Structure 1
Amino acid sequence: MKKTIILLAFVFSIFLLPQDVYAVDFSITNTEINAYLQENGDVQVQEQHTYRFEGDFNGITRSIIPKEQTKVEGFQAFENGKPLEVELEENVYKVYRSGSDQKILIDLTYTITNGVEVYTDLAQFYWPFFDTSNESTYQNMDIYIHPPQASEEVIALGYDEAYATSVIASDGVVHFAMGEVESGTKGDIRVAYDPNLFPAASLLADKTIRDDILADQAELEQERQNYENRQELLNRISPYIICSLSIYLLLLVTVAWRKKNSRLLEIERSSLSSQFLPNQEMSLPATMLYIRNMSPSSELISAALMDLVRKGYVKKDGESKFVIVDSNTDFPHESILIEWLFHKIGENGVFTLSDLSAYTKVKGNHSTYSSDFAKWIQAVKEEVKQSHLVEKKKGLRWTIGIVSLLTMLFAIILGVHSLFMWMFFSIILAFALLLFAIIYQPKTLRGHRIRQQSKKISLNYDNISEKDWNDWMTDEQMQSFIYAIGTGNKSMQKKFEQLSKSLSLHSTTDHSMQSHDVMMFILIASTLTNQFDKADSTVSASISSGSVTGGGTGVGGGGGGSGAF
C-alpha cells in the first residue's frame, strides 16, 4: 500500500505540480520586438510586452545575456511614454511598476553595440532574444528585423522555435511570426544583408559566410524532412504498439486475477469450520502486522505485551505492573520486546506504565525509543518475511519494469514528434505497467489463508454467542482480544467488552475474576497506546536554494527571458 501511495505521489508530482513556483501570478499575452540595424553595426531594439496580472505585483523583469564581443547599453523602460525606474542585477533588469489585477503595456529600449557582424560577402544579425533560461511563456511573439535601408538581398533563418517562421518583406524587413513560445525553449534568429549597408561598421573577419548560412539552411530543411518522415512512421506504427501493450497489460491482470481466484477457491474448499479465531501459522504480533498491511501502530505494542502475558513469559502484578517470568521466548522479536520494555524503559525485569510515562517525558529518550521500536518492528517483519506469505516474482516484475521503461521512452519520442494523443496513451500504459511491476507480489496459499481468516473473523465475530464465549478457554479468549487490539478492529473490541461484562454479571466467581482481568487489560492497552503516541518526535528539515549566474544557451552564449516580481 505504501509503495502504491509513493508511486501515485510521484506521478502527480510530474503531471500536476508546476516546475516553478512564482510569487506573482501573471501571463505575457503579447510581445513585439523591433530591431533596427544601424550603419555602424549597432542595433537599436524596441520591445513591447503586454502583461496580465492577477493579484498584487511590483514590476517586471527582462534578462538579456549579450553574446561575446557585444554589449547591451542604454536600457530604459516606459509606460505610455512615461519612464519607469530600472535596476540592474547581473544580467536581469528589474522594471518597477506596482499594481494589482491589471493589464499593462511596457516598452523597453536598449542598444546592442557591435550587434551586426560584418564579413566580406554578407553582414549578419545573429541573435538570441531568449534562451532556455527563460522562465515565462510568451503567448504570442513577433520579431521584426529592420535593415538600415531597403534591400532586396536578404537571407533569413530561424533556429529551434524560430524555424520556418520568417517572412521577408519587399523592403528587406524580416518578420519572425513565432506565435506561442514556451518557457525553457530557445529560438535564435539570423538575418544577413549586403555588407555595403553597413559602411561605418568594422569588418569582423576577412572571410565569407554565405555558404555557411546556406549550408545551415539546407541542414535544417533536411532535419525537418527527416522529422516529418519519422513523425509519419511513428504515427503509422503507434496504434499497433499501443494495442500490443494494452493486450499485454490485460493478459497480466487477467492471469493474476485468475491465479488469485483459484487459490481462494482452494482455500474455501479446505477451510476449517472455526471462524472466530485465527490459526496460529505465525505469532500473533506477526499475524497482526501482516493483517495491517505491514503498517505498525501503537496498538501493536499493547497487543504484543499482552501476548507475552498470555503465553506466560510475563505476568501482571497489580493494575499496571508487569514482571518477567521467563526470557526464553519462541521468537526473536519477543526477546527484543522484553529487552526494550523491561530493561531499557523498566528496570530489573519490571515494567510499569509509570516507567513508560517517565521515560517518554525525557526528550533525549525519544530517538532511542524510536530506534528500539523500529528494531522490534523489523524483527516482526522478518518473521512475516520468513513465513513466505508472498511470491516475489522478481524475474517477471523486472521484465514488466523494463517494458514500462521502454514504453516511457517511446512516449518521449512521440512527444518530441508532436504525436500527443499517442504519447498520452503511452504514458498511461507505462505507469500502469510500472504500478503492476511494483505491487505485483501474489500471496501464497498461506498468505491468502491468513488474509481470508482475518476477513471471516471480522465478519462473523458479531454473531458469537455467550455460550460460545463461555465455552472458550481463557487462552482462546485472550487470543481473540489481543487480535482485536492489535489489528485495530473496533467492532471486535466492542463485542469483546460486551461479552466480558455479561460474563462478569451472570457467571461464577472464577469467571467474574477472569472478566475483571480482561477489563483491566483493556484499560492498560488504552493507556499504553496513548503513552506510545506521545513518544513520537518530529524532525523538521529546512531547504535552502541559491542561483548561479552564467552564460545563455543561445548563439554566442547569449540569451534572456522575461518575468515579474
Structure 2
Amino acid sequence: MKKWMFVIAGLAFVLVVTGCGGKKSFSMDQVDTRAYVMPDGDLYVEELFTYTFHGSFNGSTRYIEPGEHEGIEFFEAYQPPPGKKLGEFSYENLSSLNTEWDGENDTYYIHDAAKDEVKQVYYRYRIDQAAVRYSDVGKLDFSFFKNSNQDIHHVSVDLYLPSEYNKTDVYGFLHDRTGGELTTGGESALHYENDRLSEYGDAEIVMLFPQNQLPQMKVSQNGKSFKQLLEAEQKREARMELRDERMQWAGKVAAALTIVFLLGAIMYLLSWRRISAWLNRKQVSRDELALLDPLLKTYLYRKSKLTQKDFIAGLLSLRNRGFVTVKEVPSSARFLEEPTAPDTTLLFTFRGDAGLLSPAEQQLVDWLFKDRNGGREFRLDSVAGPTFKEKQNDELIVKYRKASERHAAAFKQWKKAVSDTDPYADEVKPNVLLKFLVPVMVIIHYVLLLYLFYADVAASLSIVLIAVLLGAGGILASIKYTSKLWILLYHVACFVIGSQIVHEDGSSSYLILVLSSALLAALIPKYRMSWKTQKYRFALKDWGKELRKGPAAGGTQADRAEAERDAEHAVLLGIIPQYVKRLRTGQEDGAVYAAATIPLLFSADILASMQYTQTHLGILSSGSSSSGSSAGYSGGGGGGGGTGAF
C-alpha cells in the first residue's frame, strides 16, 4: 500500500475516533417569531428560542445581518416566564441577560450558562429602515435565520403591518430554496412555517404591501414600481415551479455524462496495451535491461518525470559511454565534522571529447563540472546542502539557499533538454488527447453548473460570480492542459461550488459526475508509451522490487559484477535506502567485495554517500515561528459567529 493511502486511512480513523467522542452538543428545538413593520420602515422583532443543551455552555448566540438596512437600533435578551407562549408576556417584568456584540461576525453573544437542560431565551431587537417605501408600494426583504450553526426545528414567523389593510393587497414570496411554507390572509399579514429549517436556509421573506402603511418614511427615489416588483417576483415563482422538472432533466444529463466518464476511466484503467505489456514483462531479461542507457532507464521508470536527484543517472550515462571516470575520495572537510554525513564521496572526471556529446549531455557537463587540476571535475558532495553546524550561521544559510535555487534552475533546463533529445523524446511522448479532453471537461462542467444554479433559482449575483470565477479557472486549466494539477484543481472547485446547490437531487447527481470526471482526468495518461516501452518499464519495476529485498551473496568475480550492476540500478530506480539496509545487514558493510578485481564503486558506504547528497540537495527555508490566537469572540467559543450556542 502506498504512503498516501496510509495517510488517508489514518486521517479517516482519527476523524471516526474524534467524531465518536462524547462531545457536548445542543439543538434549537423551536423558534417562534413575531415581526412588526413600523410606520417609519423599521422592523421590530420578538423571538422565543427553545434550546436543549447536552454538556456545559456559556450561553447562546444570535446572528443578525443588517445587510442593506441602516443597522440594528437595539438588541436585548431575557429569561422568559415558564409556560408562556410568545405574545403572552411583556419584557418589562423579565430578567435581562448580558449581551455582547461582535461586529466582525455580526453576532450577539448572550451570557446565560446552561448544562444538560432545556432552556428558553427571549430576544427582542429592532432593525432600522428594514422596509422600503416606493411611490405605489412598500417592500420588506429580510432574512430571519441566516448563518445558523445547525438546523432549526419547528420554526414559525408572523409578519404584521402597522395599520388596517386589505388582505388582497399583501403579497408574500419566499426566497429560501431549502423549504418552508409561506401563507397570507391569516391573523398576520404573512405566516411562515418550517418543521426543519436547514442550516443552509435563511427564511428570506419578501412582502409587498400598500405604501400607506409607511406614513413616516420617505419615498425611495430609485423609480421601482409595484408592477415591476410584482413581475420580478412572479417570474421567480415561475422558475421555482419549474425547478424540480429542470433539476430532473439536468440530473439525467449528469447521469449520462457520469456513465461516459466512468467508461473512459475503466478503459484507461483496464488498458489492454498496458495489461499486455505487464503480462509480457518477464520476456525482458536482466541482461537486456542492463544494456539500456542508465539515464533512459530512469527516464522510462519515472515516465519522463525526472526529479532533481536524477542528475546522477545522467552522470552514470556519461560513465557508461566512457566520457567520465569516477573514483572514491574523502568527503569535504565540512562533512567530516558532521556525525551523520558520509566520510567518502565520488569524484567524476570528464575525459571524453565534448564535441561528441548531445545538447543535453553538454548542458549537464557545463552545469556540474568545473575546471580543476588540469581537467574538468565534479565532486558529488559539492551540491549537498549545509551541515547541522553550518545551519547555525545565517550567512551560510543564505549562501546555500542561493546555490540550491541555482541547482534547481539548472536541473529544470537540463530536464527540458533531455525530454527534447532522442531517444528520450521518442520513447515517452505527451498525450495530445489531453489538449482536447481538458477543454471538453471544462466546458461540460461550466455549462452544467451554471444551468444547475439557474434551475435551482439561485440569485443572479451568485450565478455571475460563479460564471466569472469558474470561467477564469477553466481557461487556466485549458491553457495548462499538460499539467494534471490544474484540471484536478478545477474539479475540486466544481465540487465545492456544486455542493452549494440546494436541490438535493441536482446536487447529488452533479457531485457524482464531478467525481467520475476527476477519476478520468486522474487516470488518463499524461504521456504515451509504446507497448515495448511499457514492457521495459514493468520489467524495471520488477527488478526494483527484487532489489528492495537486498543483494544476493556471492564471492566470484561474476557475482561481484552482478552486485555492482544491481547497486547501479538501485541508484537509477531511487531505492538506495532499502538496498543499503539489506546490504549492510547481509554483507557487513560490503566487506565481501573488498577483494574485487573490478572497480566496484557501489559499496554500502558509497551508496550511503549518494543517498546523503540526494536528500540534501535542497534547503528548507528558515522562518521565525510566530504565535498568535485566532480571531474570535473574547468570551470564548464564539468562533465564526452565527445563530447557535457557545
The TM-score normalised by the length of structure 2 is 0.62
Q: Which secondary structure state, in structure 1, belongs to the residue aligned with residue 528 of structure 2?
A: coil
Q: Where do 5+ consecutive residues of structure 2 fail to align?
A: 13-23, 81-94, 331-343, 391-395, 457-502, 632-640
Q: Distance in 2 between matches of 1:465 and 1:223?
A: 74
User: Relative to structure 1, is the Cα distance of residues 36 and 341 closer, same or farther in structure 2, using a 3 angstrom cutoff?
Assistant: same
How many residue pairs get matched?
517
1:94-243 equivalences under 5 Å are 94-97=108-111, 105-115=120-130, 117=132, 124-129=138-143, 134=147, 136=149, 139-140=152-153, 141-148=155-162, 153-154=167-168, 155-161=170-176, 165-168=181-184, 170-178=186-194, 179-183=196-200, 187-192=204-209, 195=212, 201-202=216-217, 204=219, 211-212=227-228, 214-234=230-250, 240=256, 242-243=258-259
Q: CA deviation at 1:46?
A: 1.6
Q: Distance in 2 between matches of 1:301 and 1:286?
A: 12
Write out per-residue CA displacement over residues 505-559 of structure 1, whole angstroms, 9 at most, x where no aligned residue.
Answer: 6x9xxx81437x5377431231342244345322378999x99xxxxxxxxxxxx
Corresponding residue number in structure 2 for 1:16: none
1:64-79 equivalences under 5 Å are 64-65=65-66, 67=68, 70=70, 72-79=72-79
Q: Which secondary structure state, in structure 2, belongs to the residue aligned with residue 253 of structure 1?
A: helix
Does residue 406 (structure 1) correspond to residue 488 (structure 2)? The answer is: no
For the pair shown, which has the larger CA radius of gyration, 1 or 2? 1
Corresponding residue number in structure 2 for 1:470: 557
Does residue 343 (structure 1) correspond to residue 354 (structure 2)? The answer is: no
Write out per-residue CA displacement over residues 288-323 of structure 1, whole angstroms, 9 at most, x where no aligned residue.
Answer: 254245566787466665665664623426554626
Corresponding residue number in structure 2 for 1:33: 33
Structure 2 letter corresponding to 1:222: A
Q: Which secondary structure state, in structure 2, belongs to the residue aligned with residue 537 of structure 1?
A: coil
Q: Where do 5+ consecutive residues of structure 1 fail to align?
A: 13-23, 548-559
Among 578, 600, 621, which residue is 1:539 paired with? Answer: 621
Among 571, 574, 597, which residue is 1:514 paired with? Answer: 597
Write out per-residue CA displacement over residues 458-491 of structure 1, whole angstroms, 9 at most, x where no aligned residue.
Answer: 46778998789634795x7644321123324467
Give yes or no for contact 1:469–1:477 (8 Å, CA) kept in 2. Answer: no
Q: CA deviation at 1:406?
A: 0.8
Q: CA deviation at 1:264?
A: 5.6
Q: Which secondary structure state, in structure 2, belongs to the residue aligned with residue 201 of structure 1?
A: coil
Q: Distance in 2 between matches of 1:312 and 1:484?
A: 22
Q: CA deviation at 1:232?
A: 4.9
Corresponding residue number in structure 2 for 1:278: 289
Corresponding residue number in structure 1 for 2:430: 392
User: Relative to structure 1, is the Cα distance of residues 290 and 126 closer, same or farther in structure 2, using a 3 angstrom cutoff?
Assistant: same
Q: CA deviation at 1:190?
A: 1.0
User: Relative to structure 1, is the Cα distance of residues 492 and 384 closer, same or farther in structure 2, using a 3 angstrom cutoff?
Assistant: farther
Give yes or no for contact 1:35–1:44 (8 Å, CA) kept in 2. Answer: yes
Structure 2 letter corresponding to 1:529: Q
Q: Which secondary structure state, in structure 2, belongs to the residue aligned with residue 539 of structure 1?
A: coil
Higher relative contact order (CA closer than 8 Å, sequence separation 6+): 1
User: Relative to structure 1, is the Cα distance of residues 409 and 34 closer, same or farther in structure 2, using a 3 angstrom cutoff?
Assistant: same
Q: Distance in 2 between matches of 1:266 and 1:236?
A: 42
Corresponding residue number in structure 2 for 1:316: 327
Corresponding residue number in structure 2 for 1:86: 100
Give yes or no for contact 1:66–1:72 (8 Å, CA) kept in 2. Answer: no
Q: CA deviation at 1:492?
A: 5.8
Give yes or no for contact 2:66–2:127 (8 Å, CA) kept in 1. Answer: no
Give yes or no for contact 1:313–1:326 (8 Å, CA) kept in 2. Answer: yes
Structure 2 letter corresponding to 1:287: K
Q: CA deviation at 1:376?
A: 3.1
After superposition, the CA RMSD in angstroms is 5.2
Corresponding residue number in structure 2 for 1:457: 543
Give yes or no for contact 2:62–2:644 (8 Å, CA) kept in 1. Answer: yes
Corresponding residue number in structure 2 for 1:365: 400
Q: Distance in 2 between matches of 1:358 and 1:239?
A: 53
Q: CA deviation at 1:346?
A: 11
Q: CA deviation at 1:170?
A: 3.2
Give yes or no for contact 1:263–1:448 (8 Å, CA) kept in 2. Answer: yes
Does residue 444 (structure 1) correspond to residue 530 (structure 2)? The answer is: yes
Q: CA deviation at 1:394?
A: 1.3
Q: Distance in 2 between matches of 1:471 and 1:322?
A: 26
Q: Which secondary structure state, in structure 2, belongs to the residue aligned with residue 65 of structure 1?
A: coil
Write out per-residue CA displacement over residues 90-133 of structure 1, whole angstroms, 9 at most, x where no aligned residue.
Answer: 793543527587776543322344555556765x351323598x
1:544-563 equivalences under 5 Å are 562=643
